[in-house]
């Protein structure tokens, strides 16, 4: 029987629960789903490619038919190299539709045999974008529930490097922690 491989391309800067929702839906209908992070030298991402890959790998560890890769150049060319026959994209609102339709038709013009499949996330994620998450986090707002806890932590560390330094120097329950720290979770 023919195995259907799909790619899910995007910048995932950072990956959100909306992306995860779509990955879950995609993993349910495709035999194999490749989450493909676009290497875009023109954009100045908040997270490096390696950081985004690690976050997505940890988020998708429980899906045996999902893997995470990076690519550059045309999405359609990448799809062909990994023998994908479908491109998965998410539609949140009408505003996504125009752009996505344009891209899907252009991709079809280049490679007619490649099908773009659109999926809608759960309503609770339908307003969620990486850009909004970056903006809210940068301004100190809460992004709890919008991204997995591990991404939330990474965002905090990225935006306040002092937190990372403190955590590295003070393993609160580790053997280097003082009695006071172990008892209170605080440093003297
Ligand atoms: N909350 C969401 N629900 C459904 N699809 C989504 C959601 N967020 C992103 N997507 C889809 O995932 C794909 C990759 O998106 P991308 O990496 O550009 O994320 P983004 O949230 O749109 O990021 P940015 O805000 O930086 O553009 C696109 O098809 C996009 O429509
Ligand atoms: Mg986008």
- Indicate which atom in ligand 1 lies nearest the CA of residue 127: 1
Cβ atoms 150, 14 nearer than 8 A = no
Element (H, E) at 29: helix 17-29
pLDDT for res 41: 72
Per-residue tokens: 74: 């045309």
| DSSP secondary structure, 90-140, as one string | E--SHHHHHHHHHHHHHHHHH-TTPEEEEEPPPGGGTT--HHHHHHHHHTT
Domain for residue 34, yes or no? Answer: yes
From the candidates 52, 53, 89, 130, give the one annotated as an active-site residue.
130
Quote the ligand 2 centre to 35 CA distance (angstroms): 15
Has residue 41 been placed in a domain? yes
28 CB burial (10 A radius; 0-12, 13-18, 19+): exposed
Q: Which pLDDT belongs to residue 95?
A: 84
The proportion of the chain whose per-residue pLDDT surpasses 70, expressed as a percent, equals: 86
**Domain total in the chain:** 1
- The residue length of the chain stands at 188
Average pLDDT over all residues of the chain? 90
Of 33 and 179, more confident: 33
Q: Which atom of ligand 1 is nearest to the CA of 11?
A: 17
Give the residue with greater pLDDT, 165 vs 37. Answer: 37
* 172 inside domain: no
Per DSSP, which regions of 4-95 are E strands? Answer: 5-10, 32-38, 66-71, 86-90
| Two tokens, residue 150 | 């591990």
Inform me whether the pLDDT recorded for 180 exceeds 60: no
Rounded-to-integer distance, Cα 167 and Cα 83, Å: 43
In a domain, 163, yes or no: no
What share of the chain in percent tops pLDDT 90? 79
More confident: 1 or 123? 123
Least confident of 51-55, 125-129, 165-169: 165-169
**Given a cut of 80, is residue 176 above it in pLDDT?**
no
The CATH number of the domain holding residue 35 is 3.40.50.620
Reported as type and span, the H/E element at residue 77 is: helix 75-81
Is the residue at 132 inside a domain? Answer: no
Nearest-CA residue for atom 21 of ligand 1: 129
- Tens-place pLDDT, residues 38-94: 998 777 999 999 999 999 999 999 999 999 999 999 999 999 999 999 999 999 988
DSSP state of 172: T
- Asked whether residue 123 is domain-assigned, the answer is yes
Structure tokens, 132: 């909004």
pTM score, whole prediction: 0.87
User: Domain for residue 60, yes or no?
Assistant: yes
3-state SS class at 62: coil
pLDDT for the residue numbered 151: 97
Q: Is it the case that residue 130 has pLDDT exceeding 70?
A: yes
Half-sphere exposure of 85 (CA within 13 A, CB side): 7
Ligand 1 site, residue 14, Cβ cutoff 6 A: no
Domain hosting 21: range is 5-127
User: Residue 103 falls within a domain, yes or no?
Assistant: yes
């Amino acid at each position: 029987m023919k195995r259907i491989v799909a790619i899910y391309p995007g910048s995932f800067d950072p990956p959100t629960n909306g992306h995860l929702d779509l990955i879950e839906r995609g993993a349910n209908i495709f035999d194999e789903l490749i989450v493909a992070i676009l290497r875009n030298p023109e954009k100045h991402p908040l997270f490096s490619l390696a950081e985004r890959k690690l976050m997505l790998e940890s988020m998708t560890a429980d899906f045996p038919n999902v893997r995470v890769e990076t690519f550059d150049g045309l999405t359609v060319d990448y799809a062909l190299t990994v023998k994908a026959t479908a491109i998965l994209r998410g539609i949140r609102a009408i505003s996504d539709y125009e752009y996505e339709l344009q891209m899907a038709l252009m991709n079809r013009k280049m490679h007619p045999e490649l099908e773009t499949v659109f999926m809608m996330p759960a309503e609770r994620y339908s307003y969620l974008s990486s850009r909004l998450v970056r903006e809210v986090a940068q301004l100190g707002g809460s992004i709890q529930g919008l991204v997995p806890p591990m991404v939330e932590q990474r965002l905090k560390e990225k935006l306040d490097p002092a937190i990372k330094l403190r955590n590295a120097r003070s393993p609160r329950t580790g053997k280097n922690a003082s009695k006071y720290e172990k008892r209170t979770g605080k440093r003297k």
